[in-house]
């Protein structure tokens, strides 16, 4: 019987983490993975649950500043899904939402700790970034200047999401039963670097057989959960690309939602779970029709199925290590009150909205923070030799995936963005220097008073290094 090693992070004043390893014997009998032809693998407890978070009444939609009225209908439901693996479990929560803020995440993780005893570092909450979901919490707080009635709907909806996440996680924990958990990686070429390629030019470039400009990340990490008889129970997969095919007024999960529906159609009884990677500067191109969203979802489902079908899934067994940290991220120089008063008088409606928000903070606090106080960084190591799964907050550009995969090993490193707190775009040093929407301009919609400071990439990468599990001295892929 192999032993599972679990790591618990303890908070320290500085990075708020310090590993405390506990060896816990677990029911990890080794069996053959007969149905898939995969090598012998351990049995790991795993549970899956889902719930619906489609708003129950019409409300404002998130994602595009041009939105000017409430949603009018629904293409398909929005979901919360939860996947619990191990004992004690790590729990991935996915939401078909544009993003959630840190207060919402904290309420959820506090409730999960109280009701289910889950340590903070063992819960990761990822949003698909669909632009056909509702406004929620304080995410993109200054994108719209909404009347109180709409804000009240938003508050009520946010509380509903919190309750449903906690309920869903409880059911996923209760659903845990012996499973074979494997992982692999496919590829899908839907994502296009939207900073480097003009959207209108992309079809002609493709037709001419010329390469699109990068960088991009076409990897499709897959975590597969099978029961002991070889039946698939869940396919958990990531992709680094904005969920912005659609911009109409109907609730929809966009291409990730269609990818999940297609996988669940092909594998009746299974749950498909999408998590968003570092697609802050990536778009699906072309866009704007339901048919395209379905087609991209189908291509992503094909990529996942190729990993499932080739029978080459690598088993997850051994220690499941989890760590979490929050670090302050400094901002560039912040304009003074006079500048915000001028913007309030002369700016466009988005600039005015941000100025109004910041002046209210100045009235309340007498100052604006020179840093975002708590940028979240999280890392799981799924077993001996299993993938390192890194979760970053914000709309992370693809450079971070490239850098972290280079540093920690492309085959064994998964990097999620849009996790735990979506407070802004997260440009790399390169993108920050270039400027533009992801480098600076989008801050106006997130209500932050300045672009990130020049050290943003180094601050985040340093924090990641501190939460990534050190490899045994004997070697590895680092």
The footprint of Zn ion on this chain (CB under 5 A) covers a number of residues equal to: 1
CA atoms of 330 and 327, how far apart (whole Å): 10
Judged by CB under 5 A, which stretch of 38-46, 132-140, 282-290, 391-399 contacts Zn ion? Answer: 391-399
**Would you call 444 exposed, middle or buried from its count of C-beta atoms within 10 A (0-12, 13-18, 19+)?**
buried
How far apart are CB 397 and Zn ion at their closest, in Å?
Answer: 10
Q: How many CA atoms lie within 13 A of 80 on its CB side?
A: 27
157 closest CA partner among 59, 256, 51, 270: 59
Q: In angstroms, give the least distance from the CB of 127 to Zn ion.
A: 10
Q: Which is nearer to Zn ion, 105 or 412 (CB)?
A: 105
Dist. CA 113–CA 420, nearest whole Å: 15
Residue of closest CB approach to Zn ion: 395
Q: CB of 113: closest distance to Zn ion in angstroms?
A: 30
Separation between Cα atoms, residue 101 and residue 420, nearest integer Å = 7
Is there a contact between 264 and 271 (Cβ–Cβ < 8 Å)? yes
Q: Which of 130, 419, 413, 438 is nearest to 296 (CA)?
A: 130
Binding mask 28-57 for Zn ion (x = CB under 5 A): ------------------------------
Residue 151 exposure: Cα atoms within 13 Å on the Cβ side: 10
Q: How far is the CB of 148 from Zn ion (least distance, A)?
A: 27
When the beta carbons of 96 and 395 are compared against Zn ion, the nearer one is 395
Q: Please give the Cα distance from 390 to 209 (Å, whole number).
A: 34
Residue (294 or 395) nearer to Zn ion, CB: 395
User: Between 162 and 395, whose beta carbon lies closer to Zn ion?
Assistant: 395
Contacts of 29 (CB under 8 A, 6+ apart): 1, 42, 43
The single-letter DSSP state of residue 70 is B
List all residues 6 or more positions away from 311 whose beta carbon is below 8 Å from its beta carbon: 36, 37, 38
Shortest Å, Cβ 395 to Zn ion: 5
* Residue span 393-432 as binding mask against Zn ion, x where in contact by CB under 5 A, dash where not: --x-------------------------------------
Which residues 77-96 are close enough to bind Zn ion by CB under 5 A? none
Burial grade of 344 (CB within 10 A; 0-12, 13-18, 19 or more): middle
| Cβ(383)–Cβ(5) below 8 Å | no
Whole-number minimum distance, CB 416 to Zn ion, in Å? 15
Q: How far is the CB of 336 from Zn ion (least distance, A)?
A: 29
Work out how close the CB of 251 gets to Zn ion at its nearest, in angstroms, rounded to a whole number: 18
Q: Which is nearer to Zn ion, 395 or 399 (CB)?
A: 395
Closer Cβ to Zn ion, 326 or 395, answer by number: 395
**With CB under 5 A as the contact rule, which of the stretches 157-165, 167-175, 286-294, 388-396 interacts with Zn ion?**
388-396
Return the HEC string of 146-174: CCHHHHHHHHHHHHHHHHHHHHHHHHHHH
Three-class SS string for 91-120? EEEEECCCCCCHHHHHHHHHHHHHHHCCCH
Bridge pairing between strands 79-85 and 123-127:
unpaired
Nearer to Zn ion, 121 or 395 (CB): 395
Whole-number Å distance between alpha carbons of 350 and 357: 11
Exposure string over 219-240, b if 16+ CB within 10 A, otherwise e: bbbbbbbbbeeeebbbbbbbbb
Nearer to Zn ion, 315 or 376 (CB): 376
Q: By rule CB under 5 A, what string of x and - marks binding of each residue 333-372 to Zn ion?
A: ----------------------------------------
Residue (131 or 352) nearer to Zn ion, CB:
131
Question: What is the closest distance, in whole angstroms, from the C-beta atom of residue 428 to Zn ion in the complex?
Answer: 16
Nearer to Zn ion, 219 or 395 (CB): 395
Closest distance to Zn ion from the beta carbon of 278 (Å): 12
Looking at the Cβ atoms of 109 and 126, the one nearer to Zn ion is 126
| Angstrom distance (rounded) from CA 192 to CA 278 | 12
Closest approach, Cβ 324 to Zn ion, in A, equals 24
Residue length of the chain: 478
Q: Which of residues 188-207 bind Zn ion (CB under 5 A)?
A: none
Binding span for Zn ion by CB under 5 A among 224-232, 308-316, 343-351, 390-398? 390-398
Of 246 and 322, CB closest to Zn ion: 246
Nearest approach in angstroms of CB 153 to Zn ion is: 22
Nearest CA to 118 among 98, 93, 140, 99? 93
Summarize as ranges the residues that interact with Zn ion (CB under 5 A). Answer: 395
């Amino acid at each position: 019987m192999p032993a599972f090693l679990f790591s618990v992070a303890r908070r320290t004043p500085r990075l708020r983490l310090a590993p405390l390893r506990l060896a816990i014997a677990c029911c990890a009998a080794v069996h053959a993975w007969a149905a898939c032809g995969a090598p012998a693998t351990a049995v790991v407890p795993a549970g899956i649950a889902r719930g619906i978070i489609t708003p129950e009444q019409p409300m404002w939609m998130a994602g595009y500043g041009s939105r000017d009225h409430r949603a009018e209908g629904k293409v398909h439901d929005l979901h919360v899904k939860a996947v619990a693996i191990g004992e004690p479990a790590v729990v991935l929560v996915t939401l078909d939402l544009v993003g959630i803020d840190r207060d919402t995440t904290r309420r959820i993780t506090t409730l999960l700790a109280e009701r289910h005893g889950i340590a903070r570092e063992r819960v990761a909450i990822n949003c698909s970034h669909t632009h056909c979901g509702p406004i929620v919490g304080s995410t993109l707080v200054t994108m719209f200047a909404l009347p109180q009635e709409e804000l009240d709907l938003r508050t009520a909806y946010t509380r509903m999401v919190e309750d449903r996440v906690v309920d869903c996680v409880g059911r996923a924990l209760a659903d845990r039963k012996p499973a074979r958990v494997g992982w692999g990686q496919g590829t899908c070429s839907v994502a296009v670097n939207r900073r480097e390629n003009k959207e209108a030019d992309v079809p002609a470039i493709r037709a001419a057989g010329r390469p699109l400009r990068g960088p991009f990340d076409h990897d499709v990490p897959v975590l597969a959960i099978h029961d002991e008889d070889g039946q698939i129970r869940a396919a958990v997969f990531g992709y680094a690309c904005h969920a912005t095919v659609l911009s109409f007024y109907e609730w929809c999960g966009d291409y990730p939602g269609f990818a999940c529906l297609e996988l669940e159609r092909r594998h009746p009884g299974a749950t498909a779970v999408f998590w968003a990677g570092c697609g802050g500067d990536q778009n699906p191109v072309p866009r704007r029709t339901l048919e395209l969203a379905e087609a991209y979802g189908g291509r992503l489902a094909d990529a996942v199925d190729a990993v499932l079908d080739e029978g080459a899934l690598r088993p997850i067994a051994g220690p499941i290590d989890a760590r979490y940290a929050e670090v302050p991220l400094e901002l560039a120089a912040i304009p003074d009150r006079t500048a915000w008063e001028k913007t309030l008088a002369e700016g466009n409606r988005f600039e005015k909205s941000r100025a109004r928000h910041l002046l209210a903070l100045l009235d309340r606090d007498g100052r604006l923070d020179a840093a975002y106080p708590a940028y979240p960084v999280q890392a799981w190591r799924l077993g001996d030799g299993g993938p390192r799964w890194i979760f970053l907050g914000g709309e992370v550009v693809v450079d971070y995936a490239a850098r972290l995969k280079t540093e920690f090993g492309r085959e064994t490193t998964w990097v999620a963005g849009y996790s735990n707190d979506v407070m802004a775009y997260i440009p790399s040093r390169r993108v920050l220097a270039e400027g533009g929407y992801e480098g600076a301009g989008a801050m106006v919609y997130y209500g932050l008073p300045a672009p990130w400071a020049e050290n943003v990439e180094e601050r985040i990468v340093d924090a990641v290094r501190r939460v990534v599990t050190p490899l045994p001295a004997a070697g590895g892929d680092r």
